[in-house]
Structure 1
Amino acid sequence: MCEQKAYLLLADGTIFEGRSIGKRGTAVGEIVFNTSMTGYEEILTDASYYGQIVTQTYPLIGNYGVNDDDIESRKSWVNGYIVHEECDTPSNFRCAGNLDSFLKKQNIIGLCGLDTRRLTRIIREHGVMNGAITDEKGLENKEQLLKEINNYKIKDAVKTVTVPEKVEAKAENGKYKVALIDYGYKINIMRSLLKRGCDVTVYPALTPPEEIIKDSPDGIMLSNGPGDPAECKEAVENLKVLSKSDIPIFGICLGHQLLALANGAKTAKLKYGHRGANHPVKDLNQDRTYITSQNHGYAVLADTIDKSVGTVSHINLNDGTVEGVRYNNGHMFTVQFHPEASPGPKDTGYLFDEFISLMKDRS
């Protein structure tokens, strides 16, 4: 366990003292919290956290170590990582290293040993706040660092995390061709499609829609991703074109928000977002509630959805926000949560099955 002192400086001047883990130095970002008890490796490699410093509310992180099988993208995208207690002696039959070594390998600046519950209360009361993890040297220039913190803004998020070129993955018994538009996709989205007999081609986020249509996919998957959806103007314009095709479209998280914008709805930033594996969502068509995994800071505004275009299909039972939209053209639907993440006890993988059914009906 590292005993080198490190600090968290918030935009309002609040200072937390802790100990350094991972890479040493200073990291500025948007402070968010995740309430999951497990899944820290998936969180660290989820591209939706691009530009953010993630705080785990669960007090002990790292007890089952890390491995190469649970990562969700090609690298870690977080700007920093905060835990109350970091376990440096993990125990699990799949363990291939500890959290500290993983952070160092990924060049992530981390902080442990501070009161994460107090930090979470501050974020819940104030809303999402910028901050910086730094060392004593960084605090010597506190005023300059505060300026940097308050001026910080996440920029070019999707352009940064998307794949640079097309990537193909074949199923064992491929029946359908799916175009997965990568706004920051999680690998388990691809796995969920592959195991259902879909050959998947991952496209860079800003691939011209004409190119995708020309490749004749049976369905189009819109992935999750980071940043403000309203800033992704080119992606929204592309989806306006794809919406007019008769190709089935299924969107998750950022993909859900972007398709809503392409169809005339609006989005807004939440006070502190939904990040965790225990969010109750009601499927209005089934009149049934599911526990879902979520990671987003923006939401589609229900009263901006044109009823002649689509209807709300899922709602969040904590705050009533939109968690899903079904479009009246019959071949497009989206959800805000992550059906590929399977938090239990009643999982939402049925949405992938519905997507398969749409492709089957079209073929």
Structure 2
Amino acid sequence: MAFIARAANQALAHNAQWYAAQVREYWQRRELHAALARGVYRLTQGKANAAEVAELVESQLQAAQHETGADVQTLEGMLSDAIGNVRDAKQRGLTLGLSTGLEILDRETGGFFPGELTVLAVRPSIGKSALAVELAARIAEPQAGKPSRRVLFASLEMSAEQIAHRFLNRATGIPVRRIQSATLDANELSQLDHAREKLRSLGLKAYVSSRASMTRIRARARVLAAQDGLDLLVIDYLGLIQGDARQSPYERTTAISRELKQLALELGKPVLCLAQLNRAAAQSGGPPTLEHLRDSGAIEQDADNCWLLNREHREATEASLIVAKQRQGAVGSIELEFKPDRMSFDVPTIRYTEWDGGPI
């Protein structure tokens, strides 16, 4: 109260910003103190276990630290920022979007954009994690003359060793099963060592947890963004993110998808989250559609972009990536080729048929 009284009497135009910063500092202190007090109370009263209290306090601390009050902006300011970003990107020879590493996908979508949530939905065993690894690897690969791009791969499905096996398989073509069984000859072991040296240059880090909640994912992403920088967050996959057990599956998924969109906006970075299509997608006999997402909470509504990966069966090499929703652009579809030896996706290879000398 003494500070408020002093500010009312002494604050002038030239030091108004300093006083505003001090008011914010005192408010943050009060919020942090209250969050810690609530956590101590819940622990001492036995109202929650340690993990639940830790998540609650962590969430409240983050909210206090990242509340900026800068949510109201003038149109003039927004227009100036937008045009400035365009000019800056053009001058540096860059695009506003983060390249996916697949040129045909960039032409269709423009890449990943800051603050956008892209959902990649796939039927089981069709290549959900394989495409996620492919995109993460392409984006994190150093590009000549361009700043390195940093990717956080949050996996709730694969262990750290399984992720490493995927990247080694992609780099060498040695089947994952052979890497896992360690039945490799000297030449193949040498290939793994060479691949490791090459992969060390990737700007990729992994957060591995089979029971991660949005609070934990948000905390890891924010810490990495503050310490090393972050260009893309990949989450594999939405259905495994821990939510409120008291909610129905539909309500839980809706809450998580909304938090994912909020996280993209808070970070000011793109988020790519994998999701599993419902059973009807496998039973339909045709390519997946947004209808196969619509009983899975509010994923479609919260996502800026919805991509649906389609392969007729798990042995098929022909694949298509359907851009079923694009908030800032048109929908469409691109053809991809699945390479089972490396569990990767690429632009389809053009195959020529040898001319037999007959009429064309």
Q: Say yes or no: TM over 0.5.
A: no
Higher relative contact order, chain-length normalized (CA < 8 Å, sep 6+) = 2
TM-score range, shorter chain: under 0.3
Higher strand share: 1
